[in-house]
Amino acid sequence: MDYAATGQDALSRIEGAGDLDTLEALRVEFLGKQGSISGLLKTLGKMTPDERKEEGPRIHALRESVTGAIAARKDALESAALEARLAAETIDLSLPAPETPRGSVHPISQVMDELAEVFADLGFAVATGPEIEDDWHNFTALNMPETHPARAMHDTFYFPDRDEKGREMLLRTHTSPVQIRSMIEKGAPIRIIAPGRVYRSDSDATHTPMFHQVEGLVIDKGIHLGHLKWTLETFLKAYFERDDIVLRLRPSYFPFTEPSVEVDVGYSQENGRRVVGGSGDAPGHAWMEVLGSGMVNRRVIEAAGLDPDEWQGFAFGTGVDRLAMLKYGMDDLRAFFDGDVRWLSHYGFSAMDVPTLSGGVGTPA
Ligand code: 2NL
């Protein structure tokens, strides 16, 4: 039998199918269970072997070509449908985009990043440690034995229970224990800053029971006050982004440093805002304390397991919250921790505003 006519007819009807439904109907008509080509295949069973040898390949070839034609037509119809949809569905790029709520970086986080950046350039690594401390790391190792009056001055939050080793536990009152732990773990030489939360039972307009501190520590050979002075001057100039920062070092007392030095910077008042810069002795200027520091007390070096005749160093500490207020002009510390989004959207920073040394650090959002 000659299937050419059947084939021609099927192929031209498939080619002429105008939509997917019509094509599906044709597929059922030719290839479905009751389909015409399926019917031809069934006739093979009733043929003699010779007939089957003759007809089999022809019927199968017919089925192949119809199957292929249906698939090709299906592809063509589907891409035509997609083309039509793409042509019909235009996007109006002038429509306003839906508003995306966007958070901002808290000034304290921003300032901590800036401090890490400035000190990284001076070769300091960032060290962190637990906020729940034992009293040895928070006090004893820092030359504040049990009866030391400075312990009372710290307004410490103590936990009611001791730890499993019987040690009194507390919320760290400064980040110094981080430096003690770093010295014990890493030894000397060492150059680190320790930024983080600290806690004191104190609450008024200028004090919150939780605040942020950054301390710095350098331990090496032959370290002296000149290194301390240069480092703090370089840090303050980079942080405040001004070359006219003038420092005044005043003798002071901390149990963990000897000698101890308080660092003031000159400032003036502009539109009711403190602006750091110039000598505090210049007309219209005054001095303001920004840092406590000193040469690390040899007893502290010893407590950290190092030989104070071999290793010396300096340390310093300052309040991150106050540094942020001074640089970015906030006047109420308590607003830092109120979580008011209006305050944050005013004083917060863009998450993309990564501090860099070449581009300056910190531009308010
Ligand atoms: C301040 C003063 C200071 C330190 C912190 C320190 C740490 C170690 C050894 C010696 Cl491990 N000293 N830290 C030294 C001097 C001053 O902080 O006014 N902080 C807010």
Residue 164 marked as a ligand binder: no
- The tokens for 239 are 């942080």
Residue nearest to atom 3 of ligand 1 (CA): 317
User: 143 CB less than 6 Å from ligand 1?
Assistant: no
Q: Separation of 101 CA from ligand 1 center, angstroms?
A: 41
User: 312 CB less than 6 Å from ligand 1?
Assistant: no
pLDDT of amino acid 364: 47
Find the DSSP H helices in the chain: 4-16, 20-31, 36-43, 49-88, 107-121, 135-138, 149-153, 176-186, 225-240, 298-303, 320-328, 341-347
User: 315 CB less than 6 Å from ligand 1?
Assistant: yes
Q: Separation of 292 CA from ligand 1 center, angstroms?
A: 6
pLDDT of amino acid 153: 65
* Ligand 1 pocket test, candidate residues 115, 183, 215, most atoms within 8 A of CB: 215
Residue nearest to atom 19 of ligand 1 (CA): 317
Specify the ligand 1 atom closest to the Cα of 294: 15
- The tokens for 344 are 């944050």
User: 231 CB less than 6 Å from ligand 1?
Assistant: no
Q: What is the pLDDT of residues 185-224, one digit of tens each?
A: 999 999 999 999 999 998 887 889 999 999 999 999 999 9
Specify the ligand 1 atom closest to the Cα of 177: 11
d(CA 183, CA 203): 32
Nearest to 142 by CA among 281, 264, 21, 301: 301
pTM for this predicted structure: 0.73
* Ligand 1 pocket test, candidate residues 133, 181, 256, most atoms within 8 A of CB: 256
User: 133 CB less than 6 Å from ligand 1?
Assistant: no
Residue nearest to atom 7 of ligand 1 (CA): 176
User: 300 CB less than 6 Å from ligand 1?
Assistant: yes
pLDDT of amino acid 365: 45
Q: What are phi and psi of 278, to 5 degrees?
A: 80, 170
Which residues have C-beta within 8 Å of that of residue 11, sequence separation ≥ 6? 65, 66, 69
pLDDT of amino acid 177: 98
pLDDT of amino acid 154: 66
Residue nearest to atom 18 of ligand 1 (CA): 292
User: 176 CB less than 6 Å from ligand 1?
Assistant: yes
Nearest to 156 by CA among 198, 97, 218: 198
How confident is the chain (365 residues) per 10-residue block, as mean pLDDT?
80 92 93 90 88 89 92 93 90 87 90 95 97 95 88 83 89 97 97 97 87 98 97 97 97 97 97 94 97 98 97 98 94 89 91 60 48
Q: Separation of 222 CA from ligand 1 center, angstroms?
A: 20
d(CA 167, CA 136): 8
Q: Are 77 and 20 in contact (CB under 8 A)?
A: yes
User: 179 CB less than 6 Å from ligand 1?
Assistant: yes
Q: Separation of 290 CA from ligand 1 center, angstroms?
A: 12
Residue nearest to atom 8 of ligand 1 (CA): 176
* Ligand 1 pocket test, candidate residues 172, 176, 314, most atoms within 8 A of CB: 176
Specify the ligand 1 atom closest to the Cα of 256: 10
